[in-house]
Each structure stands twice: as C-alpha cells, then as structure tokens.
Structure 1
Amino acid sequence: MTYNKDIRERIIETAIERFNHYGVEKTTMAEIIQSVGISSATMMLYFSNKIELITEIVKHTLQTERDLISRLIPKGMRVLPSIYKLLEIRERTRGKYHQTQLVYGYDGVYSGLPESVLAVIKSADVKQLTLILRRGLKSGELKEFPLQRVAALYAELLYGLNLGANARICRITLSDCYSSEEIVEKQKEISKILINGLRHPITPVTADLNKELIASPFG
C-alpha cells in the first residue's frame, strides 16, 4: 500500500464536511472511511484515530495562519492595523470550522479536543499576539510592559468574547448572540482600547489602589 497525498486530502476534506454537518463528537472514523470510499487499512496509513485527524486539521489551520500573517502583516505596519489584520486572518482560516465544534462546542467548550491540541491552539494565539506587540515595543509605538503576561491576558480576553457571544451558548450568558463577523468587530473594539492603553506607561495596580485608599473618605 503506497502513500497517496490526494487520498490524505480527501480524508481531511470529508472529515471537515462531516464535522460541519454532524459535529465532532457524533462523527465516527467508520463514517469518514465509508464517505471517502477507502478501507480501514488504508485509513490507518494516514490517521490511526480521530484525534490524529483532528490534530492535523488544527495544525494545518495554524500553519495557514502563520503563512498569511507573514505575508499580510509586514514588520513596519503599526500595531492596531496589525491586530485588525490578525483578527481578519483568524476569521478567514477558522471561520469555516465554526459549525464543526473544532472552534467552540456546545456549552462553550472545545469539543472532542485533547489537552495537547488545546495547548497548541492557545500557544499559537499567544505567539501571534506577542509577535505584534513586540514589534510595537521595538518601534517605540508602545511603552514598556510585561510582554508575555499581557499577550497571554489579551489572548484570554479575545477568547472570552468569542466564547461568551457564541450563538450556541449565549442562552446561559449575559451576551447577545453575534455572528462571526460581529464578534470580530467587537474584538477590534477591545483591541483598540487595549492598544491605546499600552501607548502609555503602565502604573502598577497596587500603587493605584493605595492612592485610592489614601484619598478615600471611607479609609
């Protein structure tokens, strides 16, 4: 049995179609094998289980993002336009998976993804933001701040908006139900506020609290 790149691509495309229609958890490898029209032995040559297949889809998506970031966000671009472009790239690459539960599943959690794959996604999100924020620091557009910590918090903030506004789970949140395009616009609004704040020196939170306590008439 020889390795065939076209078969591999067909397996991935078929899996995405079925994930979109039925969701990750309800799609079995047997169903994918039947839809592709191959044997179980042939499938084993490419993917031994569903987790391997999902992992490959995620990694391929993130690689596509990296390629687009490298091509569409030049080093000289200012921070906020770079962030906007990054959010648009993410929507372009991940948007086609909105119904697969590879992005968000029912009850607002990643569905069917192991911790190892989640770690890959979260790490990529932080690295993408870190790259842009570091450029802003080097150019002097942004003031000094703890880069890694801010990037990680920023990634969590963007993720939280996407999670809270997801149409499948908004029934248990205070958020409205937004389309994917509306979510990106909300993320851009948040980004504008955050980046404008990083253009000024950051005062330690404890110092601010101490000043408020001293000035408070109830202290």
Structure 2
Amino acid sequence: MLAENKDEMREKILEAALKRFMHYGASKTTMNEIADDLRCSKASLYYYFSDKKALHNAVLMKIGEAFFQELESEADRTDISAEQIFFNMIQSKIQFIERFSRLELFKVLNDKTPEIQEIINSVQSREYAMHIKIVKRGVTTGEFDVTNPEEIGMLYQDAMEGLRFAGMSCMPEVVVDLDKEGFEKIVAQQKLLTEIFVRGIKKQ
C-alpha cells in the first residue's frame, strides 16, 4: 500500500471517529461501529490505532491542532487592539468547547500518562507564547505600559488556567454533555479577569 494511501485511510478513520464521537460521545462509541461506518474490518482500524483510546487521542490532536492554528492567527492580528484579541480568544475557546464537548475533552486533562502530559505541556507552552506575543504587541503600539511583557503574558495565562482548573475540579471525571451552568460561570470569571487584567496594564 502506498504511503499516501495509508495517510488517506488514517484521515478517513479520524473523520469517521470524530463524527461518531460528536454524535454519541466517545465513551459510547465502539471500534466496531466505526469500522461499520467505513465498511472495513475492525482489524483495519487496529492497523492504524492500537486501541480506542489511541484513536480518541488522535482525534483530539487533529481538532486541537486546527484550533491552535486559529488561535495563533488571532494572536497575530494587527487590525484590532490587543485587548480585543484577548476577548476574541476567549470567544474562540467557548465556541470550540461547545462544539466538541461530547469528545470528553475534560477527561483527557485527568490522564496522567506521559504521552498525554507531554501534549498538555506543549499546549501550555503554545498558550504562553500567544499571550506573551499579545502583550508585546500592546506594548509596541502603546496600548500597554509594562516593562516585562514575558512575565505579564505568563501571569495572565497562569491566572486564566487557574480559573479553568478550579471550575473543572467540580466536574465529574467524564463529561459527555457540557455542564452549561458551570461552563458559563468559568467563562464569566475569565472575562472579568481579562477586563481587570487589561485595565491594570493599559497605558494611562
């Protein structure tokens, strides 16, 4: 089989799994059902993914990468204020979580395996870089008045992450349907924190 055909088949499996996971939830989807959707054998799935967890993680990686590319494009914008970019990024995250809540995004954050922790650390590094870039841009345009943009960007990220994990600690380990009340509370807190944070570093 040609390498490009292997890549094509892998993508088809990921798309079929994503469709199933979003409709029924990851926990309630079986490898047999995904194989049936693709009209292939279950053994064919195991050729590409060792088990359903590996397939689930691969699906999350695929949508996560597309999401981060969107966020990084937002962080690079020069046509709006740095303050607006912060709020736009919150809105993008809201839309992402609402769309993909049935993929059990929160369950992955409780996974302590080295592979998942490495991914989480990589995600955190990318978020740090984005927030530092936004603060630096605000300083360059005269919107923000800080002498330590790297530290300020990292502080903002830590504060936002703290709110997110504080809210998630009250959720069950496996979240299939989004807890709208809890989620809206976290979002409101993050928006308020951003408003206070930006007010504190804005040039007077």
> TM-score by structure 1 length?
0.66
> What is the CA deviation profile of residues 157-185 of structure 1, one whole-angstrom value per residue up to 9, with x for unaligned ones?
22222233349628xxxxx9735455333
SS at match of 1:38: coil
**How far apart, CA to CA, are the structure 2 residues paired with 1:105 and 1:198?**
35
Instruction: Write out aligned runs for 1:38-117 (5 A).
Output: 38-40=40-42, 42-43=44-45, 46-48=48-50, 50-51=53-54, 54-55=57-58, 57-67=60-70, 69-70=72-73, 74-102=77-105, 104-105=106-107, 109=110, 114-117=116-119
Q: Give secondary structure in 2 for the equivalent of 1:120.
A: helix
Please tell me whether the aligned partners of residues 74 and 89 of structure 2 are also in contact (alpha carbons under 8 angstroms): no
Q: Which moved more, 1:151-160 or 1:33-42?
A: 33-42
* Corresponding residue of 1:138: 140
Amino acid at match of 1:123: S
Inter-CA distance 66–14: structure 2 relative to 1 (3 Å threshold): same
Q: 1:7 to 1:95 in 2, by over 3 A?
A: farther
Distance in structure 2 (CA, Å) of the matches to 1:52 and 1:150: 37
> Which 4+ residue blocks in structure 1 deviate beyond 6 angstroms?
none
Residue by residue over 1:172-211, the C-alpha shift from the partner in whole angstroms, topping out at 9 and shown as x without a partner, is xxxx97354553333111101011111269xxxxxxxxxx
Whether the 8 Å contact between 2:17 and 2:34 is mirrored in structure 1 is yes
Number of the residue aligned with 2:15: 13
Flag the 1:71–1:114 CA change in 2: closer, same or farther, 3 A: closer
1:144 partner SS: coil
Return the structure number with greater helix share.
Answer: 2
How has the CA–CA distance of structure 1 residues 73 and 181 changed in structure 2, closer, same or farther, with 3 Å as cutoff? Answer: farther
Q: How does 1:70-219 map to 2 (within 5 A)?
A: 70=73, 74-102=77-105, 104-105=106-107, 109=110, 114-166=116-168, 169=171, 178-199=181-202
Give the Cα–Cα distance (whole angstroms) in 2 for the partners of residues 16 and 56 of structure 1.
6
Amino acid at match of 2:157: A
Are the equivalent residues in 1 in contact too, given 2:26–2:104 (CA < 8 A)? yes
Between the two proteins, the alignment pairs up a number of residues equal to: 193
Contact 1:126 / 1:151 at 8 angstroms: preserved in 2? yes
Question: Which of these two proteins has the greater Rg computed from alpha carbons?
Answer: 1
Structure 2's unaligned 5+ residue stretches are 173-178
1:129 is displaced (CA, Å) by 1.5
The alpha carbon displacement at 1:118 in A equals 0.8
Cα distance in structure 1, aligned partners of 2:111 and 2:180: 18
Q: 1:38 to 1:62 in 2, by over 3 A?
A: same
Percent identity of equivalent pairs:
22
Look up the match of 1:204.
none
